[in-house]
């Protein structure tokens, strides 16, 4: 299995080999590289891409990180371990917060930025945080993550995967999200940016992406019809096509 050592920790990743600009994909809260499996399948033999499991997630070793800033520094060390330069950074939800923080700190490393189902601020309800802190899962189903076009079998698979995950992972990730706020800083982001959101996303509603689009001067907004928060799973072909078109423009 593919691992890279980052500051003494074995980090799992999936990758594809092609002839494109390097693409680094960062998953959201409670996620792993597997959430990008549809994109990686389409990218195969065309794009150079890497999707990692953050520390304490998926198959990666290490302790859970407590802040978006710490996760950003991890991404910096990860791309350093792979010797990547001038890449496109893609982030979903919490991963989008990490991507925003990264570009604000290390814009010289990036050729482009793709923000999927995220926002400049990611507040989480106190009820959810308290339930997770008590070691319990606050969600009985995954309907809040998916739009109306998602079939029941995909929802059931996602529900099983969610229930297999320790509440501690969600607790750490959601606390990091809750403390993230770059509302007053995102206008400093000048790298070419693509913002994608599902029109039925209730976790990070369309207005979050519209705010980003208004404040990132060199950006474009794409809204995917019939998709919720997990649009890379729900509408993989449409989302991947938007990514490919953006990267072709950069080239």
Give the CB-side neighbour count of residue 208, counting CA atoms within 13 A.
Answer: 25
Q: Which of 53, 67, 248, 69 lies closest to 165 in space, CA to CA? A: 53
CATH number at residue 189: 3.40.50.1820
Residue entry with tokens 């729900």? 234
pLDDT in tens, 84-139: 989 999 999 999 999 999 999 999 999 999 999 999 999 999 999 999 999 999 98
Q: Which of 93, 27, 15, 89 lies closest to 58 in space, CA to CA? A: 27
One digit per residue, the tens of pLDDT, for the chain of length 251 reads: 699 999 999 999 999 999 889 999 999 999 999 999 999 999 998 999 999 999 999 999 999 999 999 999 999 999 999 999 899 999 999 999 999 999 999 999 999 999 999 999 999 999 999 999 999 999 889 999 999 988 898 899 999 989 889 999 999 999 999 999 999 999 999 999 999 999 999 999 999 999 999 999 999 999 999 999 999 999 999 999 999 999 999 98
Question: Domain containing 116: what range?
Answer: 3-250
In sequence order, what are the residues at sequence separation of 6 or more whose Cβ sits closer than 8 angstroms to the Cβ of residue 34?
Answer: 14, 58
Q: Which of 193, 192, 196 lies closest to 240 in space, CA to CA? A: 196
226 DSSP assignment? T
DSSP of 18-49: -SS--EEEE--TT--GGGGHHHHHHHTTT--E
Residue 20's pLDDT is: 85
pTM for the model stands at 0.97
Tokens of 182: 């770059």
The number of domains in the chain is 1
Residue 1's pLDDT is: 64
């Amino acid at each position: 299995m593919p691992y890279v050592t980052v500051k003494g920790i074995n980090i799992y990743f999936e990758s594809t080999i092609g002839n494109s600009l390097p693409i680094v994909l960062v998953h959201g809260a409670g996620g792993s590289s597997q959430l990008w499996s549809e994109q990686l399948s389409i990218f195969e033999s065309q794009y150079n891409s890497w999707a990692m499991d953050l520390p304490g997630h998926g198959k990666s070793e290490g302790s859970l990180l407590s802040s978006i800033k710490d996760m950003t520094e991890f991404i910096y060390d990860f791309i350093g371990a792979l010797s990547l330069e001038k890449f496109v950074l893609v982030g979903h939800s919490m991963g989008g917060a990490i991507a925003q923080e990264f570009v604000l700190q290390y814009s010289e490393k990036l050729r482009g930025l793709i923000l999927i189902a995220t926002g400049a601020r990611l507040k989480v309800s106190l009820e959810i945080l308290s339930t997770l802190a008590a070691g319990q899962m606050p969600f009985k189903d995954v309907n809040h993550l998916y739009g109306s076009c998602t079939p029941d079998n995909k929802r059931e698979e996602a529900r099983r995967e969610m229930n297999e995950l320790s509440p501690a992972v969600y607790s750490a990730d959601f606390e990091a999200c809750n403390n993230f706020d770059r509302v007053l800083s995102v206008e400093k982001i000048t790298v070419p940016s693509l913002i994608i959101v599902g029109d039925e996303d209730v976790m990070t509603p369309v207005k979050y992406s519209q705010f980003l689009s208004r404040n990132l001067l060199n950006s474009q907004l794409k809204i995917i019809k019939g998709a919720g928060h997990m649009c890379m799973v729900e509408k993989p072909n449409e989302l991947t096509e938007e990514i490919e078109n953006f990267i072709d423009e950069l080239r």
